[in-house]
Chain A
Amino acid sequence: MTGPSALRTTVLRGLSGAFERLTTPLLPDDYLALVNPLWCGRELRGRIEAIHPETPDAATLVIRPGHAWAGHRPGQWAGIGVDIEGVRHWRAYSLSCPPGRPDGRITITVKAVPGGLVSRYLVRRATPGTIVGLAGPDGEFVLPKRPPPRLLFLTAGSGITPVRAMLHALFTGGAAKGALPDVVLLHSAPAPGEAIFGEELRALAARFSSLRLYERHTRAEGRLRPADLPALCPDWADRTAWVCGPAGMLEEVQKQWAGLEDRLHIERFRPAVPEAPGDGGRVRFTKSGRETDAGGGVPLLVAGEEAGVVMPSGCRMGICHSCVARLAAGRVRDLRTGQVHGDAGDLVQTCVSSATGPVQIEL
């Protein structure tokens, strides 16, 4: 058993080592990617192959991932990196398809949110053929290997996307071989035509009697309140629940499920970035564990040095790029231009960047 596979690993490693001697300081990957961008092994990528509109402001993107993509579990999300105006932006989106599509492709379903740079790009401007960065899959908002017999899904807006992958796994995928589970789906959308996957969910509910769908159209009926829950699903407390939607709804749900947390799974989408960040803030250096309060005019480099962190540094005027460090959270201001920027994972020049609110630096 180990023989052939160990031999194969040794041969592959030897071959790749030999090729690396020929391509140093680059890797063979860098040349293979000239032929097909998906053949880049160091950096996982995908190609958008189709874009299907779901509602006036939401679309499903069908993506072919590079060969290094690990299969996902229904409910997980993937990181998508897109270049907009030359700058790479990363966002996480729930995978809306169940795993193991025969064509090897995956889908994400994106709702264009007002002011959302990436979501609007993906829904309105991206075209088939676009190469995107991929990360993941990841996330704990998943179905267990053996789903419980009775489930409750409570979703609103684009919160349906991870649940759609779960519903397909439960009813039409490999997990559906045994007895069909008893599922209640309570889904809120502004209006019937604006419900992502609306028609598909209705068709699914019509086909499977053990799937009960309640649609709430909030523009006409108002938001679903926790108090409505017992009437819509009298045995809600006995079911294992998966909830995904806006932050306000999640807060209410957490109160409702107090004491029943072991039966509750919640998915939070990316926390909103404050629109008008204040000046300065608490700066935490994650590796050294040090923290300090830095004013809006104080470079992170200076704040770190004063807090006793060993900071890489150079010119102290933004020209030599010796001081760059990874931003783990928060946003920073470029002291030269005043521009506020930064997403988790970005490398920032600490000598010309200041905190705009709480910031975490990987140093």
Chain B
Amino acid sequence: MSTTALASRADVEEFGRELDRIRDEITASLGDRDAAYIRGVIAAQRKLELGGRALLFASWLPPAWAAGTAALAAAKILENMEIGHNVLHGQWDWMRDPKIHSTTWEWDTASPADQWKHSHNFIHHTWTNVLGKDRDIGYSLLRVSPEQRWHPVYLLQPIYNLLLALTFEYGIALYDLEVERIPSGDKSVAEALTQLRAIAGKVRRQIVKDYLAFPLLAGPAFLPVLAGNLTANLTRNLWAHTIIFCGHFPEGAEVFTEDQLAGETRGEWYVRQLLGSCNIDGSRLLHLMSGNLSHQIEHHLFPDLPSNRYAEIASRVRALCERFELPYNSGTLARQTSSVYKRILRLALPGTGRHRPESAAPPAPDLHAVG
């Protein structure tokens, strides 16, 4: 992607104003239909979970085990992605329903909601793809961008990435702890310990529920229920890892430097969100099960607009990108996933992975220099 694509500074600001217009129109049109959507998804998710757990009580029958586990996995995916992630972004705060509000929601995963909101909503969404600021670039473990300096530990990243995928909910919980801020004094040990206690408490409740209480209730079906719950959690972890890694790590996603942030305008902020995010093409089911993070671009432009509107926003954003000759990174799940894994494999080794000498690698577009 070349910086010449950003024709002029005036265009960047006009692009921003167009996006603000979309935002205003969507905000003004929110109503009963949207409220019914999220309430419907929440009710469906709870019924799916109840149904799945009920089926698992008969899990000595293999079809009941398979159906119960599938229903529970689907419920957990919906709960984390379309409901939890989006409610915690404040997407449904406009309804003023205290039960579907970013300040009261707690989700079915290891990460306490308030810690996640800090590391995700604030840090990641404010500093999207800024090297050294956005901790989501590689989650402090992986080299996913050639701009990250290589280290021999990355040779093992294909292996530990798979381990991370399997234990994703715990990985995210510990990642939200931000222990790397302690040595600099940016964060106190006491604060970290308080957070760790909150994580431990939440993890304990989650483990007791899935791996002790429900299996015990099932009596003779203890082991199949335990296996069903474990499988559902693993499935959810693998799926969440896949969708989330497709958001910013496929080929073409841009990384920015801290000096590009100085004096960043609203238009430039929008362009950075656009260039740093990648979409997944697919069916309505894929959008639902990915929590509409398949519309990662729209989510990053408008993180607090309701997810059920991202599909209609996407067609308008695509049209704007064509008009302003800006790239719009979108591809099928297979394409984006294979692109991510190619990167993880290639960047485990030293070098940029780009077919040009390292010295000639272009800097990320300097949005102030364009025009």
A interface residues (Cβ-Cβ under 8 A, vs B): 21-22, 24-26, 30-31, 34, 42-43, 83, 85-89, 314-315, 317-322, 324, 336-337, 346-347, 349
Q: Judging by beta carbons under 8 Å apart, are A87 and B304 in contact?
A: no
Q: Which residues of A contact B93 (CB under 8 A)?
A: 321, 324, 347
- Whether B34 contacts A86 by the Cβ 8 Å rule is yes
**Residue B126 contacts which of A83, A320, A337 (CB distance < 8 angstroms)?**
A320
Q: Give A43 to B98 CA distance when docked, in angstroms.
A: 9
Contact, CB under 8 Å: B126 / A315: yes
B13: CB under 8 A from chain A?
A: no
Q: Are B126 and A319 in contact (CB under 8 A)?
A: yes
| Contact present for B95 and A25 (CB under 8 Å) | no
**CB atoms of A83 and B122 under 8 A apart:** no
Q: Which of the residues B31, B205, B304 comes within 8 Å of A24, measured between beta carbons? A: B205
A22 touches B103 (CB 8 A): no
* A319 partner, pick from B108, B125, B217, beta carbons under 8 A: B125
Query: Is there an interface contact between B95 and A87, defined as CB atoms closer than 8 Å?
Result: yes
The 6 tightest CB contacts between A and B, nearest first, are A86-B35, A321-B90, A25-B106, A320-B121, A314-B122, A320-B122
B32 touches A86 (CB 8 A): yes
* B50 CB contacts on chain A under 8 angstroms: 31, 34
Among A83, A319, A349, chain B packs the most CB atoms within 10 A around the CB of A319
Cβ–Cβ < 8 Å partners of B346 in chain A = none
8 A Cβ contacts from B15-44 to A: 20, 23-24, 27, 30-36, 43
Closest-CB distance, A349 to chain B (whole angstroms): 8
Q: Which residues of A contact B94 (CB under 8 A)?
A: 86-87
Q: For residue A83, which residues in chain B have a CB less than 8 angstroms away from its CB?
A: 32, 35, 95, 97
By a CB distance below 8 angstroms, the chain B residues around A336 are: 20, 23
Specify which of A87, A317, A320 lies most central, judged by the most chain B CB atoms within 10 Å of its CB: A320
Give Cα A135–Cα B193 distance, bound, in whole angstroms: 39
CB atoms of A337 and B24 under 8 A apart: yes
- Pair B102/A88 contact, Cβ less than 8 Å: no
The count of A-to-B residue pairs whose CB atoms sit within 8 angstroms is 102
Answer yes or no: B89 CB below 8 A from chain A CBs.
yes
Complex interface: chain A residues within 8 A of B356 (CB):
none
Q: Quick check: which of B162-170, B184-192, B207-215, B330-338 contacts chain A, the rest being far away?
A: B207-215
Known: A24-B205, A25-B108, A88-B96. A322 touches B121 (CB 8 A): yes
* B101: chain A residues within 8 A (beta carbon): 347
Q: Are B121 and A319 in contact (CB under 8 A)?
A: yes
A352 to B94, CA, bound (A): 14
Contacts A43-B98, A347-B103 given; does A320 touch B205 at CB 8 Å: no
Pick from B43, B99, B117: contact of A43, CB below 8 A.
B99
29 chain-A/chain-B pairs, Cβ below 8 angstroms: A21-B205, A21-B209, A24-B206, A24-B209, A25-B108, A26-B108, A30-B46, A83-B97, A86-B32, A86-B34, A86-B36, A86-B94, A86-B95, A87-B94, A87-B96, A314-B121, A315-B125, A319-B121, A319-B126, A320-B117, A320-B121, A321-B103, A322-B118, A324-B93, A336-B20, A336-B23, A337-B24, A347-B96, A349-B90
Cβ–Cβ contact A321 & B117, under 8 A: yes
B:184-204 near A, CB below 8 Å: 202
* Chain B residues near A25 (CB-CB < 8 A): 106-108, 202, 205
State the Cβ distance, B124 to closest chain A Cβ, in Å: 9
Q: Tell me which residues across on chain B come within 8 A of A322, comparing CB atoms.
A: 117-118, 121-122
| B205 partner residues in chain A, CB cutoff 8 A | 21, 24-25
Within 8 A of A (CB), among B27-73: 27, 30-36, 43, 46-47, 50
**At the interface, yes or no: B353 with Cβ under 8 Å from chain A?**
no
B303 at the interface (CB under 8 A from A): yes
| Chain B at the A interface: SS class | helix
Q: A88-B96, A318-B304, A319-B303 are in contact. Are A21 and B208 (CB under 8 A)?
A: yes
In the complex formed, the residue of B with least CB distance to A334 is B27
Q: Are B46 and A86 in contact (CB under 8 A)?
A: no
Determine the residue in chain B with the shortest Cβ distance to A18: B213
User: Contacts of B31 on A, CB cut-off 8 Å?
Assistant: 85-86
CA distance in complex: A324, B240 (Å):
28
Contacts of A346 in B (CB 8 A): 96
Residues of A within 8 A of B107 (CB): 25
Is A88 a contact partner of B97 (Cβ separation < 8 A)?
yes
- Contacts A21-B209, A337-B27 given; indicate if A88 touches B95 (C-beta within 8 A): yes
Q: With A25-B106, A34-B43, A320-B121 given, name 9 new contacts (CB 8 A).
A: A21-B213, A22-B214, A30-B46, A86-B35, A87-B96, A320-B126, A321-B117, A322-B122, A349-B90
Q: Give the docked Cα–Cα distance between A87 and B304 (Å).
A: 16
Query: From residue B213, how far is it (CB to closest CB) to chain A in Å?
Result: 5
In the complex, A321→B90 CA distance in Å?
Answer: 6
> A314 CA to B93 CA in the complex, in Å?
17
Q: Which residue of B lies closest to A325 (CB)?
A: B103
Query: Knowing A88-B96, A347-B101 touch, does A22 contact B108 (C-beta < 8 A)?
Result: no
Chain A residue nearest to B302 in the complex (CB): A319
Of chain A, the residue at the smallest CB distance from B118 is: A322
Residue ID in chain A nearest B89 by CB atoms: A321
Min distance, Cβ A122 to any Cβ of chain B, angstroms: 16
- Min Cβ gap A144→B in Å is 35
Q: Which residue of A lies closest to B90 (CB)?
A: A321
Complex Cα spacing A110 to B32, Å = 23
Chain A residues within 8 Å of B89, by CB = 321
Chain B residue at smallest Cβ distance from A347: B103
Inside 8 A of A86's CB, which chain B residues have their CB? Answer: 30-36, 94-95
Contact call B102/A321, Cβ cutoff below 8 A? yes
Set of chain B residues within 8 Å of A88, measured between Cβ atoms: 95-97
Residues of B within 8 A of A315 (CB): 121-122, 125-126
A93→B252 CA distance, assembly (Å)? 58
Could you tell me the distance in whole angstroms from the C-beta of A53 to the nearest C-beta in chain B? 25
Chain B residue nearest to A40 in the complex (CB): B99
A331 to chain B, nearest CB (A): 14
- Tell me which of A22, A25, A88, A324 has the highest count of chain B C-beta atoms within 10 A of its own C-beta: A25
Cβ–Cβ contact B118 & A31, under 8 A: no
Q: How far is it, in angstroms, between the C-alpha of A138 and the C-alpha of B35 when the chains are bound?
A: 30
When distances are taken between beta carbons in the complex, the residues of chain A under 8 Å from B97 are: 83, 88
- Taking the closest CB of chain A, its distance from the CB of B85, in whole angstroms, is 13
> Bound state CA distance, A349 and B122, in angstroms?
14
Q: Are B304 and A319 in contact (CB under 8 A)?
A: yes
Chain B residues lying within 8 Å of A26, measured Cβ to Cβ, are: 46, 106, 108
